């Protein structure tokens, strides 16, 4: 039996798909989560409790590393984990960062990237753009289900959304092919879309009206505060949508095609496949 790959944030949108595709490729997987009982081959793991890290890492030759979403403390936490990986004999770490991190090297994820590159470990870095699945499984779904709206301070900026399927497929390729290691991969879809176009695609696929309401950054701040979002995370989100408004999330890279030999998942195909998500009632989403 082969040693398992450790996947952090294994219950999240990206982590679940990485786990699924690693298993399909024949890997054993260890799924790190604060609630391991909910996952097959789960191991208890909490970024805020370093004592939980060692049992998860021991005996894992490769690690899929992700910070918590919008984690402004990532640069204070993940380097210690990277050191532990080296001590524990991990051979290769893939860090899934975020698109644009290379132009913000002093941001939390930029600092983690730099630490990993100089850690002495064999490393790889993935930098995905916004996930398509934010609309079908993520934080944008409740508003779509309840009101048929996407309310964001995205202006008319376009985004080259990527599916977690494509990010996970790249991760499996990089885990499997030693020649692909030691590089940073910018990952995007190939058709940048405004949120108006996204709403139209969701409407076409679900046969239910979905509209985009561009809101002011101040409205987003207020909404986040009311929802109890910590200030640091909220400011992180505001920076991300400033990038979207400025058109910086519209860049495309042909990395998926180069590595996988196929085009990235189109938004239309994603919408067709997930149409049921936008047909459900608000109550069903909350439960």
Binding region for ligand NAP (CB under 6 A): 9, 11-15, 33-35, 45-48, 66-69, 96, 98, 128, 130-131, 134, 138
CB of 207 to ligand NAP, least distance (A): 26
CB of 167 to ligand NAP, least distance (A): 8
Question: Which CB, 46 or 235, lies closer to ligand NAP?
Answer: 46
Question: Which CB, 98 or 198, lies closer to ligand NAP?
Answer: 98
Question: Which CB, 7 or 259, lies closer to ligand NAP?
Answer: 7
CB of 129 to ligand NAP, least distance (A): 7
Q: Are 33 and 7 in contact (CB under 8 A)?
A: no
CB of 223 to ligand NAP, least distance (A): 18
Q: Could you tell me which of 95, 159, 166 has the C-alpha nearest to residue 129?
A: 159
CB of 98 to ligand NAP, least distance (A): 4
Q: Are 213 and 150 in contact (CB under 8 A)?
A: yes
Question: Which CB, 54 or 178, lies closer to ligand NAP?
Answer: 54
Question: Which CB, 53 or 207, lies closer to ligand NAP?
Answer: 53
- Pairwise CA distance, residues 109 & 175, whole Å: 21
Question: Which CB, 139 or 178, lies closer to ligand NAP?
Answer: 139
The total of other beta-carbon atoms located within 10 Å of residue 143's CB is 18
- Pairwise CA distance, residues 141 & 133, whole Å: 9
CB of 71 to ligand NAP, least distance (A): 7
Q: Which residue is nearest to ligand NAP (CB)?
A: 12
Question: Which CB, 240 or 259, lies closer to ligand NAP?
Answer: 240
CB of 101 to ligand NAP, least distance (A): 9
CB of 126 to ligand NAP, least distance (A): 9
Q: For residue 216, which phi and psi values (nearest 5 degrees)?
A: -75, 150
Question: Which CB, 117 or 179, lies closer to ligand NAP?
Answer: 117
């Amino acid at each position: 039996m082969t040693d398992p790959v450790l996947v952090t944030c294994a219950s999240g949108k990206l982590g679940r798909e990485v786990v699924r595709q690693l298993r399909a490729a024949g890997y054993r997987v260890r799924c790190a989560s604060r609630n391991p009982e909910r996952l097959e081959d789960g191991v208890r793991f909490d970024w805020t409790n370093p004592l939980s890290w060692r049992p998860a890492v021991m005996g894992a030759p490769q690690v899929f590393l992700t910070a918590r979403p919008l984690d402004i403390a990532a640069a204070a936490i993940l380097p210690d984990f990277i050191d532990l990986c080296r001590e524990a004999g991990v051979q290769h770490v893939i860090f899934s960062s975020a698109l644009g991190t290379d132009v913000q090297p002093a941001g939390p994820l930029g600092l983690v990237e730099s630490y990993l590159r100089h850690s002495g470990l064999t490393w790889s870095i993935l930098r995905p753009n916004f996930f398509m699945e934010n609309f079908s499984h993520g934080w944008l779904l409740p508003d779509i289900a309840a009101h048929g709206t996407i309310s964001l301070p995205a202006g008319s900026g376009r985004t080259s959304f990527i599916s977690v399927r494509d990010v996970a497929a790249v991760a499996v390729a990089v885990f499997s092919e030693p020649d692909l290691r030691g590089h940073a991969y910018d990952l995007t879809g190939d058709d940048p879309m405004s949120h108006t176009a996204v709403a139209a695609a969701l409407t076409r696929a679900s046969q239910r009206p979905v509209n985009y309401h561009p809101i002011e950054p101040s409205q987003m701040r207020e909404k986040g505060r009311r929802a109890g979002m910590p200030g640091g995370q909220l400011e992180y989100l505001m920076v991300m949508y400033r990038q979207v408004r400025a058109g910086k999330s519209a860049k495309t890279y042909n990395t998926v095609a180069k590595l996988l030999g196929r085009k990235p998942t189109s938004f239309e195909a994603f919408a067709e496949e997930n149409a049921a998500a936008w047909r459900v009632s608000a109550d069903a989403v909350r439960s």
